[in-house]
Every structure is written in structure tokens, then in C-alpha cells.
Structure 1
Amino acid sequence: MNDTNSLEPVTAAAVYRAYNGGYFKTLVSPEQTGGSFALLEMVLPQGAEPPAHLHEKEDETFYVLDGTVSFRIGSKTYIAGPGETIFAPRLIAHEFRITSSQLHFITLLTPGSFWDYFMEFSTAADAVPVVKAPTELPPADFLMHLINRLNSQYGVKLV
């Protein structure tokens, strides 16, 4: 039972998700917005960036909290640091390269359905995950599964 006088503790596993050498936590889930958007706070190490891709269904907005990053959106390149925002519209190929050792940022997904991808390809963490740069590629069968899910379920095309 939870009332205004007693709060149940929240475990790290209920908050943090290990993802691609870093982690994220959901600030606002799509269930809370009727699917309109999802808001994630993420920390990723240099080397954990996705390949160039485009989203058929959603826009992404990135707000940098700490670190530096270079975005390529369409044919334009943008450099962003703390306090700066980058918008990546749907149907435009984009990619980013983390230029600091790690990047701490907030990402806004509109609509919020792509949040399901992050939940599917992450794991609950017992504590705040340690951020570490990848040392090797995941197994080929996992990469094929990830690419197939991105294409078929989430409308994301690698370019």
C-alpha cells in the first residue's frame, strides 16, 4: 500500500536499463502520453553509436547534458555540446558520432512507439550501469535479429 505518508522504495531495476554499453532511464513513457511521445535520459560511451539510419514513423530530438557529439542529418553536419539541441526528422537519414568519452543526453521520441525498441534491446539493471565502450561486435545472429526487428517492427532503415 502506498499513501502520501509512506513511499515504496524504487529499485534501480525499476529505473535503469543497460543498453549498448551505457544505459537509459525512462523519464516519460508512451503510456503516460497516450503514445504521443516518450522521453529518455541516456548515457552512451564513444563507439556505441548506431549506423546511419532513417525512421519512417518518428522524429527524434536530442538535448545534450554532458559531452560532445557530431550529428549528420541528411547532408548537413552539426556539432553539439552541453545545453544544445539537435532535431532529426523522420524520413531523413541521420547518424551521430560521440566525440567525447561518453555522451549524456535526453532524447524525445515523437510519437513514442520507438520506446518499445529500447525496452526490447535493453536489460533491467540492478544498479546504475557502468558505462564502457564496446570492445567487440555482438554476435552476427544477434545483429541480424536486431536489424530485422528495426525494419519490420519499428520502421527504421539502415542506410
Structure 2
Amino acid sequence: MSVALVRNPGEGTLYRYYDSIQEQVVSHAETQGVVSVLRLTMRQTDAPPLHVHSREDESWVVLSGRVRFWVGSASLDACDLHDAEPGAYVFGPRTVPHTFRPLTATADMLVINNPGAIEGYFRSIGPADARQDADHADSLARYGVTLLDTPPPRPS
């Protein structure tokens, strides 16, 4: 990139991922593969299963709401728990298992992947009535992602 990129909310490309809408704030193509950034409003039902990336580091910026992160083990029960409030930055290095779920009804987040090729997986899923990550385990594996456990429990 030879110039700075400024993208305000709503100026990115919108696409369906299962039954939610994601905004591609910046794509890996725009950054020569360095980074991909998504903006999303996450509901409690949108939590991914516990998983691990082998190819990219992942970061999150919580814009609104509260989000619980499970990190560090191949089992939800053995993971460390961390709660992130609005303004929090969370870093998940490659090879460290993780998942997350809003503690509030929704949470607005930026999801940052370095490098950014994983966005191809998100875009390939398209619309569906409900999240079914296990149905896409082979596709996830092509992107270096392994599912380890179920999604975390909903807050009571």
C-alpha cells in the first residue's frame, strides 16, 4: 500500500456469513495479504466452536457490549477466561486455541487477521439459517483452522 486507508463504518463491503451480515473493512487484496479486517455485530448465538489457527494471528477490538474469551486449551473446561469490555483489545496468536461469545445480547467488534487470507473462508460460507461450523471442517482445514470443541455455553 502506498497510501493510508480510512474506512468509516458502513463503507466496507457487506456480505452474508451464515445468518448474519459482516462488513469487510479492509481485505487482504488491499493490503497485499498483510491484514484482513471485519466489522460485525455478534449475537450470543454466533459464537464459534473452540478452534485454533495455524497460519494467522487474530485480534479483536470490542467496540460495544461485553465479550468473554476462552483461550489456551483444547478443551473449553480447561481454557482461561477473559472478559473484554468496550474499548478492549484482545490478541490471539496462531497456535493458541480460542473462542468467544458476547455476554451482552450483542457486541460490535473488529476482527483482525494477520495475514488476511482467512477472509476467503468467511466469504465462501454465504447465507444459512444457522451456524454449522462442523459441516465446514474440511474447508476450515484448507485455511489452517482446526475445530477442537463445541461453542462455549450461553451466559445464564
Shift of the 122–44 alpha-carbon distance from structure 1 to 2, 3 Å rule, reads farther
Which of 33, 36, 39 aligns to 2:37? It is 39
Q: Deviation at 1:48?
A: 1.2
Q: Deviation at 1:30?
A: 0.3
> Are the aligned partners of 2:23 and 2:39 in contact in 1 as well (CA < 8 Å)?
yes
> Are the aligned partners of 2:49 and 2:147 in contact in 1 as well (CA < 8 Å)?
yes
| Identity across the alignment (%) | 29
Which of 63, 78, 81 aligns to 1:77? It is 81
Q: What is the match of residue 99 of structure 1?
A: 103
Structure 1: gaps (5+ residues): 1-11, 124-133
Matched, 1:155 2:144: yes
> Are the aligned partners of 1:15 and 1:25 in contact in 2 as well (CA < 8 Å)?
yes
Which of 4, 14, 22 aligns to 1:16? It is 14
Structure 2: gaps (5+ residues): 1-9, 73-78, 149-156
> Are the aligned partners of 1:52 and 1:94 in contact in 2 as well (CA < 8 Å)?
yes
- TM-score, normalised on structure 2? 0.77
Q: Deviations over 1:16-67 (max 9, x none)?
A: 1122332211111100111011111111211111110000000110001111
C-alpha RMSD of matched pairs (Å): 2.0
Q: Which amino acid letter does the alignment assign opposite residue 36 of structure 2?
A: A
Q: Which amino acid letter does the alignment assign opposite residue 150 of structure 1?
A: L
Matched, 1:55 2:59: no
| Larger Rg over CA atoms | 1
- TM-score, normalised on structure 1? 0.75
Q: Distance in 2 between matches of 1:28 and 1:22?
A: 18
Q: Which amino acid letter does the alignment assign opposite residue 138 of structure 2?
A: N
**Where in structure 1 do 4 or more consecutive aligned residues deviate above 3 Å?**
none
Q: Distance in 1 between matches of 2:101 and 2:111?
A: 15
